[in-house]
Chain A
Amino acid sequence: MSASPLVEQLKGGLDAPICLTWELTYACNLECIHCLSSSGRRDPRELSTEQAKAVLDELAALQVFYINIGGGEPMVRRDFFDIIEYSVSKGIGVKFSTNGAYIDTEKAKRLTDMDYLDIQISLDGADAATNDVVRGTGSYDTARRAMDNLASAGFGPFKISVVVTRQNVSQLDAFKALADSYGAQLRITRLRPAGRGADTWHQLHPTNTQQRDIYNWLSAHGENVLTGDSFFHLNALGPALPGLNMCGAGRVVCLIDPIGDVYACPFVIHDEFKAGNVLDAGGFTRVWRESDLFIGLRKPQSAGACASCGAYDECQGGCMAAKFFTGLPLDGPDPECVGGDADALLASVPVSLVPRPSQDHSKPARVPSIVAGR
């Protein structure tokens, strides 16, 4: 299957992003071991309420239909409701990702009363044992309590958002059953080696056999399960999964981080993929339309080492972020290439040459008291 004319045009970029992720804060009550933004502590330079509203004014003028808000934990911000209510009042729908810790009965009611709002509760195991290893002790119960509160408030179909790992692939049916039990929608996305995930990816990412399981499962359930188009590298296994089958970084998607830096996508928080800052002259619009980085990403990309592979049209060489943070060349196979074409390369990348995330807001490591001598 070769790309449709529409997809070719989308690769050339749009006047404004279709889907923009905005991480409101690096502060988080959790310390998930795969956090793609290495969140934990607030950054003192985070955008103020007024600065955030000015960005929303700009996005409204650009006719961005909706934004994906995340973090960190976005509900930690005291102006969280102020920001999302302002966004909706400007005609920008909000979908936000949360671990659920702050969705008590009162907040659940307030969220239910809003229009154009979608909520994604993150959950990375269908039981506490599987989930809490990744997201922290008690985080499964916290997420379930938030789901219960939303259900009691009559919120309607919220989303349960799962990062697929080696440990939870076998639970896809259980996640679906859980979502169905709430009348919720299941969303599963690909694990990327970004942020703290760069350190844990080798233990967490699905095996090649499991990737086929994911593909088969999505082929059977695809229309009813959201994926953020994140599994297009699996299309080399057979008929294409639903979605645009392309990398949208800097073309149709981008990320605004808590301090206003604009990156090509949520999975490449690294200086090499930083296009500018929303506080720069010309604001977000100028970054989106004129940054050298984004203009470069909209030019035809080389298939490089994948050019001779018969599956390239299907998998498009996979995910740029996954390649970058595993030290692989961007014009070569994805580290999870289902044909196994990256296996030898991955094994030969010297650890010293693998790029490190440019920023880290992780909480300081807790030194066990016995080691600290206390």
Chain B
Amino acid sequence: MRRLLSTALEVHPQVALRPEPFGALAYHYDNRRLVFLRSRDMLKVVESLSTHSTLEDALVASDIEPQRWQSFESAIDSLISSEIVRVR
């Protein structure tokens, strides 16, 4: 897995996020991928990526406890693979 805590990230400009009770749906209009964000916390982090200089800053700003960072980092890694999130 990539180390992403100190990376600057953003939601891909062709992606729309739709909040849902379980978290959110993310849809990529170009590659037509539909991806599930599996918690509201995850949605909060993803939505705040572009306004913070690193993933770590976004996690702190979203009040995610440090012991959960690794699972968020791994989930963000898979969102990068599906092009929902990208490095900026």
Contact = CB atoms under 8 A, between A and B. Distances in A.
Interface of A: 5-6, 9-10, 12, 14-16, 18, 63, 65-66, 91, 93, 116, 118
A65 B18 CA distance: 9
Contact of B32 (A9, A63, A118): A118
B27 A9 contact: no
A14 B19 CA distance: 10
Given A18-B25, A65-B27, A66-B27, A93 B32 contact: yes
A6 B36 contact: yes
8 contacts: A5-B38, A12-B21, A14-B20, A14-B25, A15-B19, A18-B34, A65-B16, A116-B29
B26 to A, nearest CB: 9
Contact of A15 (B20, B32, B36): B20
Nearest to A15: B20
A279 B60 CA distance: 47
Contacts of A63: 16, 18
B27 to A, nearest CB: 4
Contact of B21 (A9, A65, A66, A91): A9
Interface residues of B, number: 13
Contacts of A91: 16
B83 to A, nearest CB: 15
Given A16-B18, A65-B16, A93 B29 contact: yes
A6 B21 contact: no
Contact of A6 (B16, B22, B29, B32): B22
Given A9-B21, A63-B18, A65-B25, 7 more contacts: A6-B38, A10-B22, A15-B21, A16-B18, A65-B27, A91-B16, A118-B32
A65 B27 CA distance: 7
A219 B77 CA distance: 27
Contacts of A118: 32
A65 B34 contact: yes
Nearest to A62: B18
A51 B87 CA distance: 42
Interface in B18-58: 18-22, 25, 27, 29, 32, 34, 36, 38
The 6 closest A-B pairs by CB, nearest first: A65-B27, A9-B22, A63-B18, A14-B20, A116-B29, A6-B36
Contacts of B21: 9, 12, 14-15
Contacts of B16: 63, 65, 91
A66 B25 CA distance: 13
B37 to A, nearest CB: 10
B43 to A, nearest CB: 13
A5 B32 CA distance: 24
